[in-house]
Amino acid sequence: MHWPYKDLLDVDVLSVEDAQRIFETADSFMEVNTRSVKKVPTLKGKSVVLFFAEASTRTKTSFDMAAKRLSADSFSLAKSSSSLTKGESLKDTGLTLQAMNPDAIVIRDSRSGAARFLAERLDCAVVNAGDGWHAHPTQALLDAYTLRKVWDGRFEGRTLLILGDITHSRVARSNVHLLTKLGVRVRLCGPRTLLPPRLDTWPVEVFHDLDEAVRGVDAVMCLRLQLERQQDGLLPDLREYSRTFGLGRRHLELMNPGARIMHPGPVNRGMEVSSELADMPESLILDQVTSGVAVRMAVLFLLITRKDQGGERVQS
């Protein structure tokens, strides 16, 4: 069955079956990534543009590696070296890139909705690698994929806490969508200044006390605290934040046995999570990175081969 979507902009349109299909496709690519020759000819002759208008280490490298391991040609374009710095609009930059006939454009942009904006105007596949505070679908997919492995594929009945700066987190938004859809009970915890309005419309439980929030959870996903939030007047100081909302050893005793620690990175060690917890065996932080390559291989594979599989053709 062909993949039904032209783009991957958020996880909200994905059904549980769609997510499972991505996971199963990623399973086969995980195996490829353990071989001595980590490359398959699956996307030979295809091209992927990595258009990162915002700084990124792991996501960009992960997509680049995913494309290359599938034998696609990948091209990187940073905002600083693009005509955006000359005042070109995102629409015109996108149309210019499309005129070179790539098969997919992976975009990261600091403006919420930027990926959707581009996808509505381009015929090639657009993958959202993070847009403002809105969505980071491949991060949510790789997080769920990582949990699927440690939870033996069973999401139902599990409880996960997302901790920290929820307001400004595209990772949180996408994870809430996907994990609740898969059956996980999701909790959010952070100071009120870092929680978005109208959380009563989200399918989550909200806590402001970390000790209460971690009680009985199966995993905690710590979010990176952007240090400038203190200057924004959202926090008094970082020391107080780490003492009040930083995850430490004492919290382990409140969680369910075998509870896991996650973080989308980059980690401010000692701030969101203690160094000890970040490095302990229960930490999935590096597993998330490993899963990321396979999941992104799956996403690129499904989107780019969509037409070849006889899916609905997009007029070009």
Partner 1 sequence: MSSPDFVIKNALWRGEAHDLCVADGKVLELRPASGEGYGDAPVVDASGLVLLPALIDVHTHLREPGFEWKEDIATGLSAAAHGGFGSVMCMANTDPVNDNAAVTERMLDRAREAFPGGGPRLFPVGALSVGLAGHELAPMGELAAAGCRAVSNDGMPVANSELFRHAVEYAADFGLTVIDHCEDPHMALGVGVNEGAISSRLGLKGQPTVAESLQVARDVLLAEYLGLPIHIAHVSCRESVELIARAKERGVRVTAETCPHYLLLTEDAVEGYDTAAKVNPPLRTMDHVQVMREALRTGVIDMLATDHAPHAAHEKEVPFTQAPNGISGLDTALCVTMGLVDEGVLSLDDLVRAWATAPAKAFGLPVCAFAPGDPADFTLYDPSASWVVSPQTMHSKGRNTPLLGRTMPGRTAFLYVNGKRVV
Question: Does 89 help bind partner 1 (rule: CB under 8 A)?
Answer: yes
Question: Does 188 help bind partner 1 (rule: CB under 8 A)?
Answer: no
Which one, 204 or 255, has the nearer CB to partner 1?
Answer: 204
Q: Which helix or strand (DSSP H or E) is residue 138 part of? A: helix 137-150
Question: Does 51 help bind partner 1 (rule: CB under 8 A)?
Answer: no
Beta strands in 23-103 (DSSP E): 47-52, 73-78
- Would you tell me how many other CB atoms lie within 10 Å of the CB of residue 232? 10
Of 86, 83, 90, the closest CA to residue 108 belongs to 90
Give the tokens for residue 263.
């973080």
The only residue of 25, 65, 75, 132 in contact with partner 1, by rule CB under 8 A: 132
Question: Does 170 help bind partner 1 (rule: CB under 8 A)?
Answer: yes
Q: Which helix or strand (DSSP H or E) is residue 18 part of? A: helix 16-32
For residues 11 and 177, the answer to whether their CB atoms sit within 8 Å is: yes
The only residue of 196, 248, 270, 311 in contact with partner 1, by rule CB under 8 A: 196
Which one, 74 or 128, has the nearer CB to partner 1?
Answer: 128
Phi, psi at 192, each rounded to 5°? -60, -30
Question: Does 29 help bind partner 1 (rule: CB under 8 A)?
Answer: no
For residues 57 and 81, the answer to whether their CB atoms sit within 8 Å is: no
The only residue of 90, 106, 222, 285 in contact with partner 1, by rule CB under 8 A: 90
Minimum Å gap between C-beta 199 and partner 1 is 7
Annotated binding site for carbamoyl phosphate: 58-59, 108, 136, 139, 265-266
| Binding-site ranges for partner 1 (CB under 8 A) | 89-91, 109, 111-114, 116-117, 131-135, 170, 173, 196-199, 201-202
